[in-house]
Amino acid sequence: MTDDMMPPEVLGSAELVGDGTATQFEVTKTKQPGEGKKQIRKEQLRVLYTSPGFIFGVIIVGFWVLAAVLPGLLTTVGEKEFVEVGPRVKPGSDAWLGTDKNGWDVYARIIYGARPILIVAPVATAMAVIVGTMLGLIMGYYRGWVDEVLSRVIEAILSIPIILMAILVVFTFGRSTPVIIGTIAVLFVPAITRTIRSAAISESDLDYVMSAKMRGESGLFIVSREILPNVIGLVVVELTVRLGYAVFTYATLAFLGFVGSNITDADWGIDVSQNYEQIVRDIWWPSIFPAIAIASMVIGVNLIADSIDKALKS
Amino acid sequence: MTTTEPQPTETEAEHPALAIDGLEMSYIVRGTPRAVLRGVSFEVRAGEAYGLVGESGCGKSTTAYAALRYLPGNGRIDAGRVESGGQELTAMSGRELREFRAQRASMVFQDPVQAVNPVLKIGKQVAEAFEVMGQSKSEAHASALAALKRVRIAAPESVMERYPHQLSGGMLQRVVIAMALACDPTLLVLDEPTTGLDATVEAEVLDLVRDLRSELNSAILLIAHNLGVIRTMCDRVGVMYAGRIVEEGTVDEVFDNPSHPYTKGLLNSIPRRGLRKTDRELFAIPGSAPPIGASLPTCTYIDRCPIATDICRTDVPPIVDRSDGHWTRCHHADRIGDVPEPQEVTVEYNVGNEQVIGVNGVSKTFRQRGHDVPALVSVDLGFAEGETLGLVGESGSGKSTLAKTMLGVHAADEGGSITLRGRKMAGKATARVEESVRAISMVFQNPDSALNRAWTVRRILHRSVVKLTGVRGAAADKRVEEIAEAMQLSPRHLDMRPRQLSGGLKQRVAIARAFAGDPEVVVCDEPTSALDVSVQAAILNLLAGLQNDERTSYLFISHDIGVVRYLADRIAVMYLGRIMEIGSTATMFNGTNHPYTEALLSAVPSVDGIAEDRIPLVGAIPSPANPPSGCVFHTRCHRAIEGLCEVTEPQMVELSAGHSIKCHLTVEQLSEPVHIDPAAVLAVAIDDPLA
């Protein structure tokens, strides 16, 4: 059992995870005292900051965050302000991205529309990740009947189509923002739970957990202090990846009309649904531009998520 | 001093099977290229077996992969040439390279389980290797059958119909070798081919390779960290250190007459020629191997070399010829005698009389799919204060189950008892009183798995101190520092995380944790098998020293007979959950043993180059769920008496004071030498691998 038995592909990644698979590969690891954790972090950050995907993603997401926080900085026109040029004007010098059927400026609508999506998606994701991580750790560590029961519940949730779930929830609890956040969170919990559960299972098989059991530690201690710190990197990756999905899911629900009390409010999904019929009359800009905004947001978040994942593994 | 490389090959009519010349390689890790090979040059001539040895991280495997130009995504060749049969690999196109690998070269990896596809039948996989070479399906099938026969599988038809999981590790490695030989390669690269296998299976695979060499014209490049394997298998050996070959020559020359301080250090660090802890300490090479990418402008070994002088810092060491074909890369090759010999041991090892832990008639039966699987069958053992009991046996013989039962991971069956100073302990750790929990601790095989990598060393030790001794606050902090010091860990290590430490330091932390509760018995489950020999030496010295200071007893589980012989006062041999033989270390090596022990001892590849007749163990260890009748070992025993051994289970017989075996045979019968033709044994059918 020497260290240099690794398939060469994993050399680069031996650094980060140090889990069951990577740990034997002393070779490339930091045997030297000079290269400490800080040094590794620093180098990982450098890889992150210099990756084009990350820079691009940050620019896109940063722009939308700015729009959500201070829309007034990016546009002088209000979301429901009738501009002088009138309705259904093509994109041009009068209105950058044109105006819609109501005579509202599409660009201004998009800037103001960033806010709802940027409230719902991160909050829902955070909730789902917290709940999913807790469940996953418990299931992965205890296994047995706890795992069986929770697994069945999760499969039950997974078997309900998103739309059906949304219809049920909206008709039962209304369409307020907290309800939408809760719905998206519940939808996301199963996938996160599964990811964390499998990580927790492989952690539980490691000898440090057995060692903790042998000195008489409680299950709560082992799960929260021993195992959790070792899966936290995975939690971060889940957080960023799921955020992209949450943006997408929220936009879908908005398009289908399950979101918000007023269809005149600026919201990308709603704007697409209100204007897409006019594409057949060649008035494409009021729906295509919000759709591009949704896509850019999803892409931006995913670019960041991928870059973080890569940097952690570099 | 001369600067010529070992003789060029013009003298030979044909090109060497592999010629690596001035190879420099680096891996790109987090954006920076880091040098891993710093000018490796050697050649493997046709029909020759060449070994590469060295510590982890010195570039052995990288060299092996480079020999087939099989580089990981982040690896790149900076300089140098790799040639095979006169063709330059570094200049080949992707297509030529594929052809080269398909037709001319093969590689056997360490783990046969990962080298085969688990969902395809053996026959299909082996046949595939021939189909790649353009044979039709029926031709390939016939070729596969012949290939399996060639690796001495006696019932190839039935093996071809099996899936990988139905074969033992040794059998599987034979299948992998059969596939590697499909193209009748001119170059066969074996990367630690036996490292994951039991000593007995290792011997079986090595026998096979040695046997095949005579009928093949392949040159072999063998990578191994086990010096004994290299010694018994190879013609010539290259000793690698930090990406450079520092010494090269025939195995006899290099191992009997080492000329580089590093080679000498390696050889001194393993227990050879029956060395015991009472004779002398093992030599631990100070420090650790430089990381990849380290700046080493002159001699790579300089920081650990006991005879280095100023010139080593300023000038690149020359290649010094020692004798024909034996050279070393050292300024001070003539001063090799100045390398200090390991210290003689002055302390007395005293084993107390009082029994600390007693294992009395302990059995452990697992229930699996409705069947009873007896993993331990009435095991009796006792530990005196300060005593080391070595426990040996193949994988699956129940060694770890015994350890876990003692530690209370699972409770023993009703009937037996584990006693602490005469008082019976509860079965499960959770049910044990605090004193009993403290009394037994464990050092695991793999420190990477045993230490929480998210915690600092200080926290790991602190938690165990607090939890096991109840000491808190400043007193606990002080205790942590004391233990760390006793393990020769420096204070700055305390604030590091495990991954910042080398393998040896990690194992020290694990040992420190085991000693945190001031235990009576420490169970050491293969504590050095994941470590390099030089680090193993330091750990064994540490364990021996600690035992002397703390009067702790050890249950030392290991498959390395040399290590067990060095450290243990008594040795117990386990087979199928039963103790087959137990006795003092001296009596175990005086020639009269249980046949199983005899076979185990003969399987060890010796670094001293003394060839012994190997007694092979036939087939795989039987399943404990369905143990053989009578003596459980009779199915694989070379001395079994028909009509007796398969009927009656032998009782434990005392041969001499404290030396007992479970066997029907008399001392006279056991002392009779046996001669078994290894080739005949290799051809033995797999009796019942599905058992």
Interface check for A39 against chain B (CB to CB < 8 A): the answer is no
How many CB pairs (< 8 A) connect A and B?
164
Spell out which residues of chain B touch residue A26, defining contact as CB-CB under 8 Å.
56-57, 502-503
Q: How far is CA B157 from the centre of its chain?
A: 33
Nearest CA in chain B to A24: B448
How far apart are alpha carbons B25 and B58 in whole angstroms? 12
What residue has token string 């001395």?
A: B639
pLDDT at position A15 is 34
CB B593, CB B655: distance < 8 Å: no
A98 and A2 co-located in one domain: no
CB–CB contact A215 B517 (8 Å): yes
Interface check for A38 against chain B (CB to CB < 8 A): the answer is no
CB–CB contact A5 B192 (8 Å): yes
pLDDT at position B198 is 77
pTM of the model: 0.79
Quote the tokens at residue A196. 């964390």
How far apart are alpha carbons B293 and B29 in whole angstroms? 10
How far apart are alpha carbons A15 and A26 in whole angstroms? 9
CB–CB contact B62 A8 (8 Å): yes
DSSP state, residue B466: H
Average pLDDT over residues A217-233: 91
A202 and A228 co-located in one domain: yes
pLDDT at position A63 is 95
Distance from CA of A174 to the nearest CA of B (A): 44
CB–CB contact B442 A211 (8 Å): yes
Spell out which residues of chain A touch residue B452, defining contact as CB-CB under 8 Å.
208, 226, 229-230
CB–CB contact B496 A36 (8 Å): yes
How far apart are alpha carbons A5 and A23 in whole angstroms? 12
> Which structural domain range is residue A19 located in?
1-35
Quote the tokens at residue B483. 């233990």
Nearest CA in chain A to B407: A214
Whether residue A36 is predicted with pLDDT greater than 80 in this model: the reply is no
Spell out which residues of chain B touch residue A217, defining contact as CB-CB under 8 Å.
467
- Weakly modelled stretches of chain B, pLDDT under 70: 1-14, 346-347, 609-612, 619-620, 675-691
A262 and A247 co-located in one domain: yes
Nearest to A37 among B446, B467, B497 (CB): B497
Identity of residue B70: Y
Distance from CA of A208 to the nearest CA of B (A): 4
Assign 3-class secondary structure to chain A.
Answer: CCHHHCCHHHHHHHCCCCCCCCCCCHHHCCCCCCCCHHHHHHHHHHHHHHCHHHHHHHHHHHHHHHHHHCHHHHCCCCCCCECCCCCCCCCCCCCCCCECCCCEEHHHHHHHHHHHHHHHHHHHHHHHHHHHHHHHHHHHHHCHHHHHHHHHHHHHHHHCCHHHHHHHHHHHHCCCHHHHHHHHHHHHHHHHHHHHHHHHHHHHCCHHHHHHHHCCCCHHHHHHHHHHHHHHHHHHHHHHHHHHHHHHHHHHHHHCCCCCCCCCCCCHHHHHHHHHHHHHHCCCHHHHHHHHHHHHHHHHHHHHHHHHHHHHHC
Nearest to A18 among B289, B492, B499 (CB): B499
Spell out which residues of chain B touch residue A307, defining contact as CB-CB under 8 Å.
none
Nearest-CA neighbor of B287 among B553, B538, B661, B632? B538
How far apart are alpha carbons A103 and A110 in whole angstroms? 14
CB A286, CB A270: distance < 8 Å: no
**Cβ neighbours of residue B96 closer than 8 Å, sequence gap 6 or more:** none
pLDDT at position A19 is 33
**Cβ neighbours of residue B497 closer than 8 Å, sequence gap 6 or more:** A37, B453, B454, B455, B456, B457
How far apart are alpha carbons A256 and A245 in whole angstroms? 17
A156 and A45 co-located in one domain: yes
How far apart are alpha carbons B566 and B554 in whole angstroms? 13
How far apart are alpha carbons A122 and B678 in whole angstroms? 69
What's the alpha-carbon Rg for chain A, to the nearest Å? 24
Task: Choose the CATH number for B355-575 among 3.10.620.30, 3.30.413.10, 3.50.50.60, 3.40.50.300.
Answer: 3.40.50.300
How far apart are alpha carbons B632 and A141 in whole angstroms? 38
Question: B464 vs A8, which has greater pLDDT?
Answer: B464
A109 and A227 co-located in one domain: yes
pLDDT at position B678 is 55
Mutate to test the interface with A, among B28, B29, B526, B529 (most CBs of A within 10 A): B29
CB–CB contact B454 A27 (8 Å): no
Mutate to test the interface with A, among B27, B61, B304 (most CBs of A within 10 A): B61
CB–CB contact A5 B61 (8 Å): yes
Coil vs helix vs strand at B29:
strand
How far apart are alpha carbons B109 and B104 in whole angstroms? 17
**Cβ neighbours of residue B467 closer than 8 Å, sequence gap 6 or more:** A215, A216, A217
| ipTM topping 0.90 | no
CB–CB contact B409 A210 (8 Å): yes
DSSP state, residue B337: G
- Rounded to the nearest 5°, which phi and psi values hold at B340? -65, 140
A62 and A193 co-located in one domain: yes
In the sheet that B49-53 helps form, which strands lie side by side, from edge to edge? B105-108, B187-191, B219-223, B49-53, B236-241, B244-250, B326-329, B319-323
Is it true that domain B10-104+184-337 has CATH number 3.90.1150.10? no
Q: Please tell me if the domain spanning B10-104+184-337 has the same topology as the one spanning B355-575.
A: yes
Quote the tokens at residue B334. 């003539």
- How many structural domains comprise chain A? 2
Question: Judged by CB atoms within 8 Å, which residues 184-213 of B form the interface with A?
Answer: 191-192, 195-196
Whether residue A20 is predicted with pLDDT greater than 80 in this model: the reply is no
A10 and A73 co-located in one domain: no
CB–CB contact A216 B429 (8 Å): yes
Nearest CA in chain A to B409: A214
DSSP state, residue B604: S
A79 and A28 co-located in one domain: no
Q: How confident is the model at residue A308 (pLDDT cuts 50, 70, 90)?
A: confident
CA distances from B365 to B148, B357, B402, B407, B651 (A): 38, 22, 11, 16, 21
For the beta carbon of residue A288, count every other beta carbon within 10 angstroms: 16
Spell out which residues of chain A touch residue B409, defining contact as CB-CB under 8 Å.
210, 213-214
Q: How confident is the model at residue A4 (pLDDT cuts 50, 70, 90)?
A: very low
A69 and A179 co-located in one domain: yes
CB B645, CB B630: distance < 8 Å: yes
CB B279, CB B271: distance < 8 Å: no
Q: Which residues pair with B28 in a beta bridge?
A: B33
CB–CB contact B72 A9 (8 Å): yes
Question: Judged by CB atoms within 8 Å, which residues 223-262 of A form the interface with B?
Answer: 226, 229-230, 232
A31 and A83 co-located in one domain: no
Nearest to B225 among A2, A6, A207 (CB): A2
Whether residue A26 is predicted with pLDDT greater than 50 in this model: the reply is no
CA distances from B600 to B275, B603, B645 (A): 18, 5, 20
CB A310, CB A239: distance < 8 Å: no
Quote the tokens at residue A54. 């990350």
Quote the tokens at residue B394. 């193949």
Q: Which residues pair with B357 in a beta bridge?
A: B383, B420
CB B487, CB B508: distance < 8 Å: yes
Nearest-CA neighbor of B48 among B325, B270, B292, B312? B325
What residue spans define the domains of chain B? 10-104+184-337, 116-182, 355-575, 578-682
The runs of H, that is alpha helices, within B216-260 are 227-233, 251-256
Interface check for B502 against chain A (CB to CB < 8 A): the answer is yes
Nearest to A29 among B62, B499, B530 (CB): B499
A25 and A84 co-located in one domain: no
A129 and A188 co-located in one domain: yes
Mutate to test the interface with A, among B65, B74, B303 (most CBs of A within 10 A): B74
Assign 3-class secondary structure to B373-425.
Answer: EEEEEEEEEEEECCCEEEEECCCCCCHHHHHHHHHCCCCCCCCCEEEECCEEC
How far apart are alpha carbons B112 and B168 in whole angstroms? 10
Quote the tokens at residue B631. 């003596």
Interface check for B491 against chain A (CB to CB < 8 A): the answer is no
Q: What is the dihedral of CA A195, A201, A207, A208, to 10 degrees?
A: 60
Coil vs helix vs strand at B35:
strand
Identity of residue B269: S
Q: How far is CA B229 from the centre of its chain?
A: 10
The runs of H, that is alpha helices, within B110-236 are 112-115, 122-131, 137-150, 156-160, 169-180, 199-215, 227-233
CB B406, CB B358: distance < 8 Å: no
Nearest to B450 among A5, A50, A207 (CB): A207
